[in-house]
Structure 1
Amino acid sequence: MTYFADLTSRQVAALHGDARVPVLLLPLGAVEPHGPHAPLGTDQLISRGMCERAAARLAADRDVHVVILPELPYGVTRFAGDFPGTVSIGEETLHTLLIDVCGALISQGFPHILLVNNHFEPAHLSTLRRVVETTESLHGKRIGHLDLVRRRYAERLTDEFRSGACHAGRYETSLVLADRPELVDTETMRRLPEVPVDLPAAMRAGAQGFLDMGMTDAYCGAPAEATTEEGQDTFTVLTELLVEAIRELGSTS
């Protein structure tokens, strides 16, 4: 498994001599509360877990060489602002940072960059989509973005994910249990009642934060139903989606 930041400068240069196309994965997320039971870094933990599993899956691939970039843990996360631990950055900050990072890599001959994100606040997502558009405009290169809320991806994920009640619920908590179980307070998790909030619908209706939505403990869905097994199964699907995106991006000029 290749981590970009672990390489020397000469090793980075040597990637150009590889017959395989280097595809650089950038894990993204946010630092925000995920209920009283799951870690603040849940989103980037899931993104990183996807990247590592995809890199392992493609380790012997003849066409692509997967390289994992240092993760960017901060994102636009205003809806969780009423709770301790929320660290939000602005849309323009995120946009400028990602444009600069991608531009630096493209200028060195690494145009195959794939954004891997698991933080789904609308302002965050719209910024990532704008990063893709701006990069193409500035450099003539369209980087990749595995946009999991798009229907063609979401329909392959769990019922809770599709319901919109998936912030620190069964879906996300299961993924953390599968990857870093020591970070989940399972005693607290088992006592949490289901909170059936459709996040996208509540946002469209004008809710300004988790408290407005009735998420008094910064979660929705059913975390008490989370299992390691479901997390492993979901990671398998997420990895398949990412591998498909990597192959698609690696085949572009």
Structure 2
Amino acid sequence: MTTARQPGARPGLLAHRTWPTVPEESLVLVPIGSTEQHGPHLPLNTDSVIAESVARRTAEELAVRLTRPPLVAPVIAYGASGEHAGFPGTVSLGHEALHAVIVETVRSLSLWAGRVVFVNGHGGNIATLDAAVGQLRAEGHAVSWAGCGVAAGDAHAGRTETSLMLHLAPEDVRMTEAVAGDTRPLHVLMPLLTAHGVRAVSPSGVLGDPAGASAEEGDRHVRTMVSGLVGLITTGTTDDRGRLLAQEPAVGPDSKAAGR
């Protein structure tokens, strides 16, 4: 089976290939995002754009390291977004439907792919990914997942996501409409969000403050996320929920002595 690039195909993108050019036993990255409100200044597909961009750039980095170039599947653009249901434009599949989509996606991919990694851009998908990917691993599938989080980033549609979108899709960002929302930490807000939804906490839909966002900051965030995901895929471990975790350094007599 040939793996050569065909005319008009984009490197690594599964949707742009024909079946004879799809290498079997390949690593397939599946971006998963959402279609939900992101304040008055960011588009509904923000999470999907971020997940897909990180997946594509990770595939490019991995292409020079792997025998078979990795593939990026089309983004799963609907997630579990019930907490945003109070805003027009939000489309949520909910936990059960998303669980079924994840499970059947992997069962189908496993007929020809070697390994599947979900690249998640939406926090509301985490519980579903844990449950679905855990089930799939128990079935024997080679599947795991990782998120697109930014250390110390704000919760939703604030400076972090605004910077990312100014870098990835600046034409879709309306900075003149940007407003600050509830800036309390997510662990403080989570009980309120779970009980009452985002709109009851922040009428604008913003959890954070977009002020100070920049494309340059977004570029740095993307580079960090891609570097982290490459490391997780190539050297990380996977827990029983399918989460990719950084490999902890071995501890032995030599390492202990060096640390004194």
The root-mean-square deviation of aligned C-alpha atoms, in Å, is 2.1
Residue equivalent to 2:34? 30
The residue identity in structure 2 corresponding to 1:114 is V
> Partner of 1:27: helix, strand, or coil?
strand
Residue equivalent to 1:174? 163
Residue equivalent to 1:45? 49
Q: Deviations over 1:178-233 (max 9, x none)?
A: 011000002222xx2353133333223553211222x1100111112211111000
TM-score norm. by structure 2 comes to 0.81
The residue identity in structure 2 corresponding to 1:77 is S
Residue equivalent to 2:130? 129
Structure 2: distance between partners of 1:95 and 1:248: 27
2:196 to 194, 198, 208: 208
Residue equivalent to 2:21? 11
CA contact 1:210–1:218 (8 Å) conserved in 2: yes
CA contact 1:26–1:114 (8 Å) conserved in 2: yes
Structure 2: distance between partners of 1:249 and 1:8: 32
- The percentage of aligned residue pairs carrying the same residue is 30
The 3 A distance-change label for structure 1 pair 62 and 11 is same
Per the TM alignment, residue 62 of structure 1 is displaced from its structure 2 partner at its CA by 4.1
Structure 2: distance between partners of 1:193 and 1:72: 29
Q: Deviations over 1:100-148 (max 9, x none)?
A: 110011122x141000011002xx211111111111122x124110045
Per the TM alignment, residue 90 of structure 1 is displaced from its structure 2 partner at its CA by 2.0
The residue identity in structure 2 corresponding to 1:209 is G
Per the TM alignment, residue 249 of structure 1 is displaced from its structure 2 partner at its CA by 7.2
Structure 1: distance between partners of 2:73 and 2:196: 33
Aligned residues: 227
> Partner of 1:107: helix, strand, or coil?
coil
> Partner of 1:144: helix, strand, or coil?
strand
Tell me which structure has the larger Cα radius of gyration.
2
Per the TM alignment, residue 93 of structure 1 is displaced from its structure 2 partner at its CA by 0.8
Matched, 1:217 2:204: yes
The 3 A distance-change label for structure 1 pair 202 and 34 is same
Residue equivalent to 1:247? 234
Q: 5+ residue gaps in structure 2?
A: 1-10, 238-260
Structure 2: distance between partners of 1:141 and 1:111: 9
> Partner of 1:26: helix, strand, or coil?
strand
Q: 5+ residue gaps in structure 1?
A: 149-153
The residue identity in structure 2 corresponding to 1:227 is S
CA contact 1:117–1:146 (8 Å) conserved in 2: yes
1:114 to 94, 117, 125: 117
Bigger RCO of structures 1 and 2 (CA < 8 A, at least 6 apart): 1
* Larger helix fraction of residues: 1
Dislocated runs of 4+, deviation >3 Å: none
Structure 1: distance between partners of 2:66 and 2:38: 39
2:177 to 188, 192, 195: 188
Structure 1: distance between partners of 2:209 and 2:45: 19
CA contact 1:26–1:71 (8 Å) conserved in 2: yes
Structure 1: distance between partners of 2:26 and 2:49: 23
- Further displaced range: 175-184 or 89-98: 89-98
> Partner of 1:130: helix, strand, or coil?
helix
The residue identity in structure 2 corresponding to 1:144 is S
